[in-house]
Amino acid sequence: MINHVGHGELIPLIGFFLALGSYELFELVNIKGDLGVLLVGMFLVTHLKAAEISKALMGFKDIFLIGFFLSIGFIAVPTLEMLGLATSLILLNPVKIMMLKCIFSILKMHCRSALLSVLSLSNFS
């Protein structure tokens, strides 16, 4: 079926069809649909048009990912407990930076490399 699709606007359509169809097929026989999508994805990865389908669906993936995080952000109402936890994590950040600097000093990293690594690692959490 994928070989007869050709190129263009039918490529994303076949990607959605395969994903949603395999999900529904597995749900029909009382198996989690996520497993069906995973299996079809594993079989599809060896196909010649897999890269083209992936490239065509990348924009949709980004839109769905943004929608997912926005929906979580709109659902989660901040509480005082969350505010306290966030404040304590912010206050622990300098302690983490000093611990990383000490670890890198023990490992005998050059000062400049250690500093740049610590700054980079402290930015991610």
Contacts for 122 with CB less than 8 Å, ≥ 6 apart: 93, 96, 97, 100
User: Which has more confidence, 77 or 37?
Assistant: 37
pLDDT band at 46 (very low <50, low <70, confident <90, very high): confident
pTM above 0.75, yes or no: no
Q: pLDDT tens digits, residue range 80-109? A: 998 999 999 889 989 988 998 999 989 998
- Give the pLDDT confidence score for residue 81 in this predicted structure: 92
Tell me the C-alpha distance between 9 and 13, whole Å. Answer: 7
Calculate the alpha carbon distances from 78 to 11, 82, 121 in Å: 42, 6, 27
Which amino acid is residue 17, in one-letter code? F
What pLDDT is stored for residue 125 in this prediction?
A: 64
